[in-house]
Structure 1
Amino acid sequence: MRLLVLGGTEFVGRAVADAAPARGWQVTVFHRGRHDPPAGAVSLLGDRADSDGLAALGVGAWDVVVDTWAGAPTAVRDAARLLAGRAGHYVYVSSRSVYAHPAPAGLTEAAPVVDGSPDAGEVAYPQAKRGGELAATGAFGDRALLVRAGLILGPRENVGRLPWWLTRIARGGPVLAPGPRDLPLQYIDVRDLADWILGAVDRGLGGPYNLVGPPGHTTMRDLLDTCVGVTGAPAELCWAEPDTILAAGIQPWNDLPLWLPPGDLHAALHGTDVTKALATGLRCRPVAETVADTWTWLRSLSGRPPLRTDHAPVGLAPEKEAEILRSLGRHAD
């Protein structure tokens, strides 16, 4: 199999490019040259934001293209049209964000989606991903596979959610832990996502698939306890009820990454139906493996982990954490 990854040097694209050689696939990555390509991959340079940015893709043929683009849908449209006659399948890594609000718990791939256009320029993230889906299907029809990923964690994470928790806990001392402890979390390890994508290509799958682990794959307590264990830090988790956290002006998801208080939004984001993906080979590794491998990766870096520039930084400011810890009768070191 000849695989072309549009991107291929960072988080999701890199996981796909890294997993393919084990299957005997030949890998080509098309990227801007800002990061080193995977070992053994053919590297093509270009910037999709430029008017002639796809020139390096003007020749060549591939069995499958994997595209993780999250910006203007026109970039997906132009690439898909260019490659439609020279590639067998087009995998577009989309997002659960394409579903219309309010999104019910247990939603399937048949749930309503937001409006989008393959001809749109810069638009909001849900509309951008939906436009990308339409661009892929417009050029490839039923040869397009739409991977509606949920929360993605694991080594090389470039949003910084799990890395923030690991880094904070590694500092030790009292750590604000958002409750309830048994709050279920639904996510996908990036390597499990990559393995499913490659297996789906082998099966010739097309159309939309929700791609995230089963609901309740782990809990807030299990995740943070595992962070304490793998870092070996002298950290103490200080659990606080959701009302206490919200009353302090702390923002769920951004200030305290991964966490949403119980309610409709949590149920929608952490209760997706993944029956279709599980029936087609999705396998999810234990949370302990995801956390431990992410920590190993973080420690291998000479500096801070690279973060996406199109995401606002995540994590609670130390002074804000210290303030709420004092209100709980604890004092940060």
Structure 2
Amino acid sequence: MSLLLRHKIRIAVQPSCQFNPPHIAFANSIIPADHFAVTDHVDAFTKQICEVIVGKNHAVKLAVACLLARGHLLIEDIPGVGKTTLSQALARSLALAFQRIQFTSDLLPADILGNSIFDHDEQRFMFHRGPLFSQVVLIDEVNRATPKTQSALLEAMEEYRISIDGVTYELPEPFFVIATQNPQHAVGTFPLPESQLDRFLMRIELGVPDRASERAMLLGMDRREMLKELKPVFSPGILLQIQGKVREVHASAALLDYLQDLLDASRQRHSTGLSPRAGLALLHSSQAWALMHGRDMVSFA
């Protein structure tokens, strides 16, 4: 059984949508060693996204924590609540390449991974990379693709690489998958298997905004225009460094005992229970949450 942190959060996805960030010269490509300076970087990043996704601060923080923990995000929600906007805001705020893929029943693995095409000039097969070779990949309605196509994501999400025709290709880093599915429409869908669910660190919902937040959206600037005006808060290289800092957040022996107690309890109540990967996911997400809140150790609170 996978570790799925269920929270109220929502977002949307579409095909053939991509964003390739322009080349930007960052003044500083190395984060300060000071722990609180790292937290300041993350705070600025989170606040910028919250300016676009109004009234969903907790949801945004969970998405950021998932990214910092090097996990992947599954969003279950109805269309039109901001899934695409959140995904694009994350990518633009970090100058990351963005791709959006619409999953359908006739989609083939080669459509997302890429395929080899014979080049008459070179007289050999040349591999053409698919849309999965990006840094932030938004997969709309992931459960509408067949299990064969869904399984094409497994190696990419776990190993950050794909293997085709006996050749292994490394995916760009950072690599963050955001997948969506509509829980209200089950007709024509293929439920995600446990092996696929286990690759997601969190499963969340966005939900509709409260009345005050919705009024602010109605009176404010168009979200698409806001996305265009977003500036990168820091570079992809700094993100990789912060992801490394997350793993340095201290977890005491007592906390690890508590984590293992949770895993053991799940295995007693269910036939399989939480997997070892789920235990690592819980630890890493807790470390990311602690770092985001200015702590250098994971607490029980």
TM-score bracket for this pair, using the shorter chain length: under 0.3
Task: Normalising by structure 2, report the TM-score.
Answer: 0.26
RCO higher in 1 or 2 (8 Å CA, sep ≥ 6)?
2
Task: Normalising by structure 1, report the TM-score.
Answer: 0.24
